[in-house]
Amino acid sequence: MSLLRRIALYGQMSRLQVAHYSGNVEHLNTKDNSKLNETETHFGFQTVKESDKWKKVHKVFEEVAASYDLMNDAMSMGVHRIWKDIFMERLSPVGNGIRLLDMAGGTGDISFRYMKYLQKLPSSDRKPSHVTVCDINQNMLDVGQQRWEKLNLPTTGDTIEWICADAEKLPFDDSSFSVYTIAFGIRNCTHIDKVLAEAYRVLKPGGRFMCLEFSHVNNEYLKWAYDQYSFQVIPPMGQILANQWQPYQYLVESIRKFPLQNEFKVMIENAGFKSVQFENLTFGVVAIHSGFKL
C-alpha cells in the first residue's frame, strides 16, 4: 500500500473515531465530571480520589496480612511489643463486665493482651468481659483468628468475636462499648473525623477512647535518622522478608501524612471527647492519645 493511501486510510479511521466519540460525548462528560468533582485525599505521598483510597489500603493489607507480625518485629526491632504493653498499662482495664471494641484489631495483638490481662484477675468477684475485634480486612481477621486458636488461652467466661466492618460506618448500636481501642490503624482511614465520630457514638457515657499510632519525632537529628531508616531500610526489608516493597513504602509514607500530635488531639476533642491527652513514646515515633465520652 502506497504512503498516500495509508495517510488517506488513517484519516478516514480518525474521522470515524471522532464521530463515534462525538456521539457519546455527553455520556462520557457526565461520567467523567462526577469523577473529576470527587474530593481527593492522600495515599501515602500519592494524591488519589477518596473512593479509591480504601481500595488501595485494602489491597495493601491483603498483601501483607500473612507477614504482618513478622514485619512488625523486623521494622521495630521488636519495640512494637513494648509500645503495645505500655498501651495496655495506660488503659489499666478493670476487667469487670467490660465491652472492648478493638478497631483495626486484625491480627489480635491488643485484644490478646487484654484477654491475658483478664486471666490474671480473680474470677470470683468480677463479671465476664467481651472483646470485639473489628477490621475492614477479612484477611487480617483470618490471621488473628488462627493466632487465637493456636494461643488456646483459657478465658474463664470472657468472650471474643471477630467482625469485618468499616471504622467509618460501624454496625453497632449507640453506647455499646466501654472501651474503644485502635492501634496502628487510624492513619489508614480515609476520613479520620468520621472514625472518631463513630468511636464516640458507640462508646457508653464514661467510655474511653484510646489510640496508639505512629507519630512525629520532634528532635531534628533524630528525625533525620528516623527518616533514613524508614525510607532506606523498611521497604527493602519488606522486599526481602515478605517479597513486598510497595506496601511498606506506603506504610512509611502514610506516617508522614498523619496529623501532628497536637493536631490529632484537637480532632479528638472536636469529636466530643473530654480530658484528651497524649503521650509520646520513643521520642515521638509513636504516641498514645486518650479521651473520655463524658
Binding positions for S-adenosyl-L-methionine: 107, 135, 166-167
Residue among 71, 43, 59 nearest 250 (CA):
43
- In angstroms, the CA 227 to CA 217 distance is 10
Q: Tell me how long the chain is.
A: 294
CB distance 165 to 140 below 8 Å: no
- In angstroms, the CA 290 to CA 210 distance is 5
Residue among 264, 263, 255, 220 nearest 235 (CA):
255
CB distance 293 to 201 below 8 Å: no
- In angstroms, the CA 111 to CA 276 distance is 23
CB distance 226 to 294 below 8 Å: no
Instruction: Give the E-state strand segments of 63-216 in sequence order.
Output: 99-103, 130-135, 159-164, 177-183, 203-214
- In angstroms, the CA 162 to CA 136 distance is 11
- In angstroms, the CA 254 to CA 198 distance is 22
